Each structure stands twice: as structure tokens, then as C-alpha cells.
Structure 1
Amino acid sequence: MRLGTLYAKAALTSVGPRAHTLPDTQLHRSATVDRAHLAGYARVCGFTVGDTLPATYPHLLAFPLQVELMAGRSFPLPLPGLVHVANRITVHRPIDASEPLDVGVRAERFVPHPKGAQVDLVGDISAGGERVWDGRSTYLARGATAPADPTIPTAPASRPFPVRESADSRARVDGSATATWRVDAGTGRRYAGVSGDVNPIHLHPLTAKAFGFPRAIAHGMWTAAHALAALEGRLPDALTYEVEFGRPLLLPSIVELRTHAVDDGWDLDVTSRGKAHLAGTIRRSVG
């Protein structure tokens, strides 16, 4: 099922009774990489076109299953209005575009958040029976409720910074800009074209205003990918990339990418006027 159809289904099922717990459903699909699509993604996000998948690309293979899982009434939170607040990706080894892949997605950690309820959509990708990629997308539903469970913290203990609401996000890296980005008004539509994420908040000022934004906003995963692309050639083969999404990046905008090398990777953020649109870490992954 195409993502546009799934978003329409989600809109229809957003009203009415819903489940109170997460479904135990695990969705799976087999995937092969379309090289033309990979090249288009690379150009939109700033990566070099090649045979090895950028660390953020497999998220596109798992995302349709995320949406399928969240679009049904068995999911406790309505998809419209969910905010992607954090993402964690682990690449266990380089993935070649020629490899047949097995993709799985499940939901975990439906927990209270000071502003509502929070849930993780977890993806894993294998090649020939070997786990090659893991992803964890954290979503916030403002004003929603979740069952309290004192054994589950609101964010994974490994996350280097807590999940906060966007307005509270601050810059992570001190110092001058590594790069200045002029992010044009069509960025959301171009990324939607390669990702399939046609959420209307990203596509046009008028549709974004219907959801309370003054202009269209960039996809968080475009911002994460574009920041990663700036460090291409200086990254370990196996890595963990964690990001927190801050204030929305309105289109068009001029923003700054700042990076800081540490012993086993990088700290980075994307900011404007001292506030972070994204703050993250890249660390070498072992095992």
C-alpha cells in the first residue's frame, strides 16, 4: 500500500475508539534497493551517489511499515499530529545496494511524557540472515495518555540527551558554523518525492498552516541525513547516529551546521538564532 493511501486511512481512523495498549504485531517485508531511487535520495540529501547505502537510507525501507502499523485502530495513538522527536540508527556494517534485505518493524515503549504520550517504532534490517541496520524512531502525541509503567523510563538510557519538546531544544555544540545551509522552499516536496513521506506540513505553506505552522517545515530525517552527508568520508563503517529534533525548520530558512570531533565520532547540531533544529551524536559502533 502506498504511503499516500496509508495517510488517508490514518485520517479516517483518527476519530473514534482506539486500543489502550500497543499491538504485538510485527510487520515484515522483503526489499531490494532501486539504484535510481538511491541516486535521487543521495542528490536530495547531499550524499555522493554510490553503491553503499547512506546510514539514513534504510529508514526509508522501514518507514512504510511504521506508517502501516500506526495507521490502524489497533495502534493507541492517532497518526495525524504525531511529532517525530528523536531517532537512533545503528549501522553494523556497510550495506551494498545489491543486497536483498529483510525489513521488520514493531512498536515499543508506549509511555507517559510530560506533554502527552511517547512511543517508539523499532526497525531492523537483515541481509542473508545477518543484522545490518537498526533504527528507533520516537514519536510524541501531545495531550495523549499512556499507561504508567515505573519499570520503563521515558527515553532509552543510551540516549545522550533527554527527549524534550521542540521549543526547549538548545544548541549542543559550541563554536562557529561548519557550514551554512540555505534551505529553500521546495526542500520538503523534494524529500517527500524520494521518501514517500507526504505529510502535508512539509509540502506547502497553506497545508502547513492548517496544522498550526506559519510555513511548511523540513522533514526531520532530511535534516538528519543532510547533516550526516556533510561528514561523508570521515565516518566509521559501523556507527550509531542519535538525533533529537528541536524547533521546526521553517521553509525557506538559513541555518548553521556545527560539528565537533570527539575520540570516537562527532557531536553536531543544526541551529538558527541559538536554538537547535537538530542536536545529535555519531559514535563508532562495536559489535
Structure 2
Amino acid sequence: MALTELTSAPSLGALYPKAVLTGFRHRGGDLPDTEYLLPGVPVDVAHLAAYDRVCGFRLTDDLPATYPHVLTFPLQIKLMTAADFPFPLAGSVHVANRITQTRPLTLADRLDLRVRAENLRDHPRGRQFDVVSTATVSGQTVWTDTSTYLRRTGGGERDRSERAEPPAPRALWRVPADTGRRYAEVSGDRNPIHLHPLTARLFGFPRAIAHGMWTKARCLAALEGRLPGAYTVDVRFKLPVLLPATVAFHAQDGEFSLHDARTGKPHLAGTIS
């Protein structure tokens, strides 16, 4: 693995136009043998507070398990827009995310962040790969994030198994129309499908959709105070949340889910261990 150390976070303002210019071109080939390192990253108090508010967390010195994801996001985009990456960023669908923290992270931690891609594999509907991000403190890995992406290259077979009746909701949440824009401000993820109905329609969505990582963070915020200091939270993103929306949240025995409150269609299924 070729390690490239960066002195500052990559500029998303420069990377997104690059992603647009490369369009939907399928380059092919293997995943790059590249790992990016951004050492000694401090946590900005104001940014953490803004993230907490958007996602529903309490304002404390502890970092939500999902928060380092937004710190590594510029490195992820730099990796996925590089000339040697086999798939274009546009059209790569975030289908799953697994985060493990080995201890609580706090404002006092300075994080060494690393990002790489691995595990390119076949999928019935195309190809899958993982973008793995880690945070270390004083040489100890304290946080690992694995984001799984699907690049569709063919029709394939959808899962046509009968859907189970969704469980009785523990809570109903109204998700405002501007949720995608608000999360984009704190995460840097300004994918047009999340921002406005008009830009979402260009990519086949009738309305803007919520970020998958916002839905995961919002679910963890609902469980705040009941999570251990060290744990793994694994989610599968299912049908998108079309904004605005009312969603039903359920959690029991280490499992949680998010469904459309009216139709029962699944948005997310997760486990905590």
C-alpha cells in the first residue's frame, strides 16, 4: 500500500467539479494501491456542535461514533475521484456502513486519519467495494469506518422476498425538506440528490433524499446514553428517505430500523454489538 501523507484536508470545492467532469465514465481495473494519511486533526468545537444539532445529538465533549466519518469524507472523495479509481463517483451507491469505536472519542483527541479502498468483489447487480477509514490516537486505532459502495453494471435480480410487517414504532420523526441541505453544510457531502428537488430529478429521484449517514446518525442519537463506550454499529441502507418525510424508528435487543411511517417501506436496518 502506497501511503501519501497530506498536510491539510482536501478541498471538496475543487473535488466535486472534478467528479462532474469525469461524468459517468467507467474506467475499469483494480482498486488503487493508495492510502491517504492526514495526521494530527483537531476537532473544531463549533463544527461538532453544528453536527450534533443537525443529527439530534446532545451537545457534549464526546464525539458521536458517526462524527469522524465527516472528518474523513474529504479524503474519501479525493481517493474516489483520482484518475486511477476504477469507478466514477457519480452513480456509486452507498449501500452499507459499519463503524467500530474501541473507546469514547472526545474533543481532546487529535486524530490521525487514514483512508483506503479494498475488497473489490462481484455483486448480482454489478460490483462492490469498501472504502475503509480509520482514526488513531497516539498510534492506537480507536475508530474504524467501512463504507460499502455498489456500482451497478447490469440489471441483476432484485430481492423479491416478501417484506415483513414493520415493527411497532418507538418514535415518529418528521424530517424537514431542508434536511439534506443542513447535513450537507456540516458534512461537506453536497451531492445534488440531497439538496433540491430539481437537482434530485436530474438523477431520477422525484424529490431530494436524505443522506444515508444522516439517517444512521439520527438513529444513534435516539439511543444516546444507552450505548457502551466501545461498540460496533452496522447498517444497511435500503430505500431512500424522500424529503420531506415522516419516518418510524424502532429499536430492541441490539437491533434498530427506520421505515416510512405511512407505507412501512424500509429505509435502514442496523445492529449494535
Distance 1:45 1:126 in 2: 24
Counterpart of 1:231?
Answer: 223
Distance 1:223 1:68 in 2: 24
Instruction: From the superposition, tell whether residues 128 and 221 of structure 1 become closer, same or farther in structure 2 (CA, over 3 Å).
Output: same
Give the 5 Å matches for 1:268-283. Answer: 268-272=256-260, 273-283=263-273
Counterpart of 1:152?
Answer: none
Counterpart of 2:248?
Answer: 256
Q: Deviations over 1:144-178 (max 9, x none)?
A: 7xxxxxxxxxxxxxxxxxxx96998956x953111
Give the 5 Å matches for 1:108-257. Answer: 108-143=118-153, 175-257=167-249
Q: Deviations over 1:170-207 (max 9, x none)?
A: 56x95311110100100000000000000000000000
The letter for the 2-side match of 1:18 is: R
Counterpart of 2:6?
Answer: none
Helix, strand or coil for the counterpart of 1:258?
A: strand
- Structure 2 residue runs without a partner (length 5+): 1-9
- Structure 1 residue runs without a partner (length 5+): 145-163
Q: 1:11 and 2:20 equivalent? A: yes
Distance 1:80 1:168 in 2: 29
Counterpart of 2:44?
Answer: 34
Instruction: From the superposition, tell whether residues 168 and 246 of structure 1 become closer, same or farther in structure 2 (CA, over 3 Å).
Output: farther
TM-score, reference length from structure 1: 0.86
Q: 1:107 and 2:99 equivalent? A: no
**Offset at 1:29?**
0.5
Q: Deviations over 1:31-69 (max 9, x none)?
A: 111010000000000000111100100111111111100
Distance 1:167 1:64 in 2: 36
The letter for the 1-side match of 2:33 is: D
Distance 2:64 2:108 in 1: 14
User: What is the CA RMSD across the aligned residues, in angstroms?
Assistant: 2.0
Helix, strand or coil for the counterpart of 2:34?
A: coil
Distance 1:130 1:223 in 2: 29
**Offset at 1:211?**
0.2
Helix, strand or coil for the counterpart of 1:67?
A: helix
**Offset at 1:15?**
5.5
**Offset at 1:4?**
3.0
Report which stretch shifted further, 25-34 or 223-232. 25-34
Runs of 4 or more above 2 Å deviation? 13-19, 164-171
Contact 1:10 1:72 survives alignment (8 Å): no
Distance 1:189 1:140 in 2: 24
Which of 39, 56, 71 is 1:61 aligned to? 71
Counterpart of 2:56?
Answer: 46
Contact 1:188 1:219 survives alignment (8 Å): yes
**Offset at 1:242?**
0.2
TM-score, reference length from structure 2: 0.90
**Offset at 1:274?**
2.2
The letter for the 2-side match of 1:105 is: V
Instruction: From the superposition, tell whether residues 166 and 79 of structure 1 become closer, same or farther in structure 2 (CA, over 3 Å).
Output: farther
Counterpart of 1:22?
Answer: 31
**Offset at 1:101?**
0.7
Instruction: From the superposition, tell whether residues 72 and 167 of structure 1 become closer, same or farther in structure 2 (CA, over 3 Å).
Output: farther
